Structure formats: structure tokens, C-alpha cells
Amino acid sequence: MKTIICIVWFLGMVLSVQAQEQNAPVVGDTAPDFTLPYATKDSIAKSPLKLADLVGKRAVVLAFYPADWSTGCTKEVCTLRDNFAALQSLDAEILAVSGDYVWSHHEWAKFHSLPFRLLSDHSHAVAKLYGSLNEKSLYNRRTVFVIDKRGKIAYANMAYSVSDLQDFEKLQSALSAVK
């Protein structure tokens, strides 16, 4: 009986993730627009960032992550930091998004000297638009999108792994293709 309950629970989790992913934009879709407050290592911005203001200028890497200060998330943003020059050479704007408040983003960005913006999606409205919210935990799932200069989704990884170098290499390849 316990085995059956475990199987049913597992299948429910798989179907829940698949349902969330079905709501996510796919390659070729117009990227859902949003406006969010943000922080950098230097300050908390007085005006929010609007995605539409970036469209047409550069490709945008939109990286959703669960939470500031956690081990996996630190590894993810530090990988982006350590490869920032290479990503910028591919004409990319990096935006990292979690549900944390801007003051946490600011302190975390200062601590790790992060050279990109950390967006605060505390209501998780944007994570929902991108199919990146884990409805059970209410934390973002680790997902990455590349939005091209036309505002279209050029790449989507709905299960980005910080421990898999191939995922980062796929991101770089996707950016190379939209350059």
C-alpha cells in the first residue's frame, strides 16, 4: 500500500511540473513582458525594470532561481558572474529573478560582486508567466530563457542544472545563435 501511495504521489509531482511547463513560453513565442524592481551590487534601483525597454537592444538571459544565499543559487549566479565577459561578448543582458526582496538582492550582489541585475518577483507573477514557479514550495524552479532582440524566446531550459556544465554551454550556444 505504501508503494502505491508513493507512486501516486510521484506521478502527481511529475504531472504538476509538466502542467507548469505547458504554461511556459516556448521557442518562437513572444516573451511575456513584465516590470519588476531590482537591485545591483551598487544600489537598489529607484525605478523598476521593464523587459520591453530592453527588447531590440541586446539578447536577454532571463535566469529564474529559488532564493538568494542558498548554495545552488550561489553557484548559479557565480557561474554567470565568472563568465560575464564572455556572455557580454555575445551581446547579452543578464537578468536573474527570484522571489526575494530587493534589499536581499542588493546585499547578496554586493557579497558576491555580481555584475548584473537581480529582479525581485516577490508575488511570483513573472515566474508564473514563464512556467517557473514551483506551486508546492512557492519558490522559483531553476529555469533559463534567452530572449532575442525581436522579443521572442530563442532558448528555454526548464530544468537548468548548476552542476551540469553542459547546461551552461547550451546557454552560450543559444546566445551565439541569436547574435
Residue 21 · residue 56 · CB < 8 Å: no
Query: Could you confirm whether 73 is annotated as catalytic?
Result: yes
Under a CB-based contact definition with an 8 Å cutoff, are residues 36 and 97 in contact? yes
Contact yes or no for 46/143 (Cβ under 8 A): no
Active-site residue identified among 24, 59, 73, 96: 73
Asked if residues 99 and 127 have their Cβ atoms less than 8 Å apart, the reply is yes
Beta-strand pair 117-120/133-134: unpaired
C-alpha cell at 106: 542588493
Q: What φ, ψ does residue 153 adopt, rounded to 5°?
A: -70, 120
Q: How far apart are CA 160 and CA 117, in angstroms?
A: 19
Residues involved in catalysis: 73
